Structure 1
Amino acid sequence: MAVHNDLGKWGEDYAAEYLLKKGYEVISRDWRLGKRDIDIVARTEDGLTVVFVEVKTRATDVIVSPEDAVDERKIKSIGWAANAYVKEFQIYDDIRFDIITIVGTKPQDASLEHIIDAFNPVLAMNGNH
């Protein structure tokens, strides 16, 4: 596995641990629909909202910040995958889309930011990100 894949896997594990500590229930990890994927699907601590979480991990934020890597194309892809997930698992709860950014390579030096309600794929699909 390439180093960036190792870093991405570590980042998703770190993000899932963070969510669990915050009281979220992690429902799915690395859910796929063809080439589209959702990193983490979780339920909020109150149980009322299903959250689709995009995790972006970078060793450093020198080139581009992790949250800037979630561009309009990625938002649309997540939206398509989330729509399929909602239909497949018959989700009737509120949903939202979060981003967790991690900069660093190990827990001791990593900074994690949880951006709640970071984007709306419907707006992106209509050209109004």
Structure 2
Amino acid sequence: MIAAMWIDLQTRVMRGMNSLAVQRAGGKSGPAHLATGELGEREALFHLRKLGYTVVARRWKSAKLWGDIDLVGWDGPTLCFVEVKTRSGRDAIPAESAVDRDKQDMLRRMARAYLRGFPEKLRAEVPVRFDVVSVYLLPSRVEFTLYRGAFGW
């Protein structure tokens, strides 16, 4: 109960800080789609924390590969690589459909690179899962759909 209240407080503070930053920049926050994606990732991070995930990395990159992993976290004993897809409204095409085969292949390569940082013995024993979170930033609320195990290796 207290943990959920703490996460809610952090979420509200981050939203307020984001709003203040946009105001101080004169309403300019960069390209709209990038601002939407960043806000969606932040909202997904707090949503996953409410669900019990321990998020250990955000926008993880490898010096040798193109791309990034939006969120990396533990769901119990399972290491999860999470792709976040954000939309500012509900369209005919759901947000999660943007995680196509090319995106999945890139995430698999990035996950292998991330796992190379683990000791070899541990690397073979850690259960891994690929999750996708669809975030809809609607005028009156934020909606989430979490797809645990959205695709495999």
TM over 0.5: yes
Look up the match of 2:114: 85
- Residue number among 126, 141, 145 corresponding to 1:109 in the alignment: 141
Identity %: 32
Can you list the C-alpha shifts for 1:50-79, whole angstroms capped at 9, x where unaligned? 000000001123253111100000000000
Question: Which structure has the bigger radius of gyration?
Answer: 2
Q: CA deviation at 1:88?
A: 1.9
Look up the match of 1:51: 80
Q: CA deviation at 1:109?
A: 2.1
CA RMSD of aligned residues (A): 1.5
CA distance in 2, matches of 1:105, 1:11: 11
The answer to whether the aligner puts 1:39 opposite 2:51 as a matched pair is: no
Can you list the C-alpha shifts for 1:85-124, whole angstroms capped at 9, x where unaligned? 0112444410000000011256x4221100110011x3xx
Look up the match of 2:20: none
SS in 2 for 1:67: helix
The answer to whether the aligner puts 1:71 opposite 2:103 as a matched pair is: no
Moved more, 69-78 or 82-91: 82-91
In 2, are the aligned partners of 1:67 and 1:101 still within 8 Å (CA)?
Answer: yes
CA distance in 2, matches of 1:55, 1:110: 14
SS in 2 for 1:60: coil
In 2, are the aligned partners of 1:12 and 1:55 still within 8 Å (CA)?
Answer: yes
* Paired residues, number: 118
Moved more, 24-33 or 85-94: 85-94
SS in 1 for 2:52: coil
**Alignment TM-score, normalising by the size of structure 1:** 0.84
Is the helix fraction higher in 1 or 2? 2
Q: CA deviation at 1:49?
A: 0.6
Cα 1:99–1:51 change in 2 (3 A) is: same
Q: Gaps spanning 5+ residues in structure 1: where?
A: 123-129
